[in-house]
Chains A and B, each alone.
Chain A
Amino acid sequence: MTLTYYLVLAAILFTIGAVGVLVRRNAIVVFMCIELMLNSVNLTLVTFARATGTIDGQIMAFFVMVVAAAEVVVGLAIIMSIYRTRRSASVDDANLLKY
C-alpha cells in the first residue's frame, strides 16, 4: 500500500459528492455533498503534506475547514430564508433572487 491509495479514495469521494450535487434536489443535501467534496480535498492536502514532508498542506486544510464553516452558516441561513418565502427546500423552486 502506498500514499496513492489515499489520493484515489479522495478522488472517488469527490466524484460521489459532485454526482450528488448534480442529482439531488433538496438544497440541504446538495450542501452536504459540497461538504463531502471539501472533505475529500482536505484528505488530498493532508496526504500531500505527508508526502512532501512540509506542514503547509495541513495549514491549507485548516483554512479550508474554516472557510467551509463560514460557508455552511451563510448557506443554511439563505436556505432558511428561501424556505420562509417558498415553503420548500427544493432547488427547483427557487427561481428568483428577489423575495
Chain B
Amino acid sequence: MNEVVIGTGETVAFWVLGPVALAGALGMVFSRNAVHSALWLVTSMLSLGVFYVIQEAPFLGAVQIIVYTGAIMILFLFVLMMVGRDSSDSVVETLRGQRIAAAVLGLGFAGLVGAGIARATEDLVGVGLADAEPEGNIPAIAESLFTDYLLAFEVTSALLITAALGAMVLAHIEREPGTRRTQKELSRARFLTGRPQTLPGPGVYARANSVAAPALLPDGRTSPDSQATGIEPQPADQLPRPTGREQLGSPDGALGTLDPAPVDGPAGDPR
C-alpha cells in the first residue's frame, strides 16, 4: 500500500484553479445574461477537467473537456441563441424572501456538508491508483467497464438512443402537407396586389447609409415604403448641394461682373 503524495505542483494547481472554478460557478449564478452564464460555466468545467487529469484520471479529464465543454455547452449555446437570449431574467421575486432563504440555505448546507466532510476525511490517506491500474488509466477503465459494468454499459446505449429519439420527437414540428404556401402561390399573390415590384431601398446619402434613413422621392419627400419596420425613421440632414463657385473661386469677381452673389439653380442665373 503506497500513499498518495501531494506535491507542490498539485498544491499550486489546486490553489490557482480552485478559485477559478469557484469564480466560474458564482459568475454563472449571478450574471444576468444567460450567454455569460454559459461562458462562466465553461470556465468552471475546464478547471474541473484539469482537476481530473491531476487526480490520476486523464481519460475522464479528456472526456470532460470534449463532452462537457465541447458538446454539451455548445448545445446550450445553440438553444440559448434560439430561445432564451432575449428573455432576460426578471428581477422580480415571485416568492417574497426567496433569495434570502436560498442564500441562508446555501450557506447552511455548505457549512454542514463542508464541515462534515472535512471532519470525516481529515485523516484520510489516499491509496493512489498505481496498484489498480498497472497498465495505465485507460486499459484499467476499459477492463472494468467491459467486465464488471457490462450490463450498465449496455443499458447506457439504450438510454442514449432513447434520448436521441425523445429529443427528435419533442423538437419536431408537424406541418400538414399543403398548409405551407409555395413560391408560385406567393408570387401570384404578390402580383395581385397594387405593388408587384420590390419596395424601394433605404436612402443612401453622403452622411448616412443606415436602414433608418428613408429614401427620397424625386420631389424631395421621403418615401414611406422605404422605411424599415421596427426602426424609428431618422432623416439624415442633407448637405447643401455645392455649386462649384465657392470651391473654385468666383470667376465673376475676377471678371468684374455686377452679379453680387452666386445664385443656385437655372432660374436665378440670367446668363
Of B101-109, B175-183, B200-208, B240-248, which binds chain A? B101-109
Whether A26 pairs with B84 at a CB distance below 8 angstroms is: yes
Q: In the bound complex, how far is the Cα of B14 from the Cα of A47, in angstroms?
A: 13
Contact indicator A56/B144 (Cβ below 8 Å): yes
Residues of the A chain whose Cβ atoms lie less than 8 Å from the Cβ of B118? 4, 7-8
- Size of A's binding interface in residues, CB under 8 A: 73
Majority secondary structure, A binding face: helix
Q: A59-B144, A89-B83 are in contact. Are A26 and B34 (CB under 8 A)?
A: yes
Q: Is the CB of A73 within 8 A of B122?
A: no
One of B28, B94, B126 near A29 (C-beta < 8 A): B28
Query: In the complex, A63 Cα to B151 Cα: how many Å?
Result: 12
Find B133's partner among A33, A55, A88 (CB 8 Å cutoff): A55
- Cβ-defined contact, A20 with B4, below 8 A: no
B10 touches A69 (CB 8 A): no
Is B44's CB within 8 Å of the partner chain A?
A: yes
A94 → B minimal CB distance (Å):
13
- A29 CB contacts on chain B under 8 angstroms: 28, 34, 37, 89
Identify whether the interface residues of B are mostly helix, strand, loop, or mixed.
helix
The residues in B between 56 and 107 inclusive whose CB is less than 8 angstroms from any CB of A are 56-57, 59-60, 63-64, 67-68, 71-72, 75-76, 79-80, 82-84, 87, 89-90, 94, 98-99, 102-103, 105-106
> Which positions in B face A, CB cutoff 8 Å?
1, 4, 6, 10-11, 14, 18, 21-22, 25-26, 28-29, 34, 37-38, 41, 44-45, 48, 51-52, 55-57, 59-60, 63-64, 67-68, 71-72, 75-76, 79-80, 82-84, 87, 89-90, 94, 98-99, 102-103, 105-106, 109-110, 113-114, 117-118, 121-122, 124-129, 131-133, 137, 140-141, 144-145, 148-149, 152, 156, 159-160, 162-164, 166-167, 170-171, 173
